[in-house]
């Protein structure tokens, strides 16, 4: 099935672990591989067929809005809306819920703005995720990656995945083989129906898991969370190596 054309990009975090870089800019405008984190995310989503992106903002919001306006002026093929959370941080689920009027009721992409990857397969990872999306049996389809092909993740793994692709969180177990990566396709109505205004998407995932409707996709490639200066430096090294390899250097 074809994938959604609307995406929610989560960029409202304070970025405290990225200090001192985020003392003067939003984390989404930190550069890695010669490009801001937000542009890495938006470029990948546009490549996957997204035509409308909603970006939530909080810290240093004016800088991020100006950057998004400049991007939209250069390339109007991706329409960008801002969901302003300067009044209060709402976490990942609350951010999606607040943006309901901009996102609509149909399935959407949700992507964190601090992840990069080197997957060069064909079709690209997000195109494959979109092809696997099946609203008849899924509420969420999440990218999950084996630990050996990740960098910058602090948790001891998040999920187990069965042969059908259904995910089960590790719960009380000390570890799990798959890290959850910050890109997914989700039925937003499962988010909108949560009573609270401030909550994590983890709450929505656990409800989907209980219904047997939480699924995962394991792509190829190397997947990185850019959460602090050390992870930023490591991602720079990995991206340079990947670029050199693709250029045949």
- Residue 85 preceded by cis peptide, ω within 30: no
- How far apart are alpha carbons 67 and 249 in whole angstroms? 33
CATH for 73: 3.90.550.10
What is the count of structural domains for the chain? 1
Q: Distances in Å between the alpha carbon of 179 and those of 153, 156, 167, 203?
A: 8, 8, 11, 17
1 lies in a domain?
no
**Residue 201: closest CA among 174, 183, 224, 219:** 183
Q: What's the average pLDDT block by block, 10 residues per block, for the chain (249 residues)?
A: 88 83 88 92 95 95 96 94 93 96 97 88 86 96 94 89 96 93 96 96 97 96 90 88 62
Q: What is the pLDDT of residues 188-199, one digit of tens each?
A: 999 999 999 999
82 lies in a domain?
yes
Q: What is the model's pLDDT at position 234?
A: 87
138 lies in a domain?
yes
140 lies in a domain?
yes
Residue 151 domain boundaries: 6-247
Q: What is the pLDDT of residues 72-92, one digit of tens each?
A: 999 999 999 999 999 898 999
80 lies in a domain?
yes
């Amino acid at each position: 099935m074809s994938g959604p054309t609307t995406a929610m990009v989560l960029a409202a975090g304070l970025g405290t672990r990225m200090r001192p870089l985020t003392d003067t800019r939003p984390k989404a405008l930190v550069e890695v591989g010669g490009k801001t984190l937000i542009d890495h995310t938006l470029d990948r989503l546009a490549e996957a067929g997204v035509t409308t992106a909603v970006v939530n903002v909080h810290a240093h919001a004016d800088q991020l809005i100006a950057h998004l306006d400049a991007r939209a002026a250069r390339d109007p093929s991706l329409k960008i809306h801002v969901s302003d959370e300067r009044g209060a941080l709402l976490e990942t689920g609350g951010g999606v819920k607040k943006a309901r009027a901009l996102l609509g009721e149909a399935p959407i992409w949700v992507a964190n703005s601090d992840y990069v990857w080197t997957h060069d397969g064909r079709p690209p990872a997000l195109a494959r995720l979109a092809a696997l999306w099946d609203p008849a049996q899924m509420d969420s389809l999440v990218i999950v990656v084996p630990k050996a092909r990740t960098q910058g993740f602090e948790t001891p793994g998040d999920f187990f995945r069965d042969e059908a692709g259904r995910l089960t969180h590790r719960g009380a177990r000390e570890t799990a083989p798959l890290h959850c990566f910050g890109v997914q396709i989700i039925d937003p109505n499962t988010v909108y129906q949560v009573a609270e205004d401030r909550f994590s998407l983890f709450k929505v995932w656990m409800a989907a898991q209980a219904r047997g409707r939480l699924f995962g996709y394991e792509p190829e490639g190397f997947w990185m969370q850019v959460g602090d200066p050390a992870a930023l430096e490591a991602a720079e090294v990995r991206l340079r190596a990947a670029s050199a390899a693709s250029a045949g250097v």
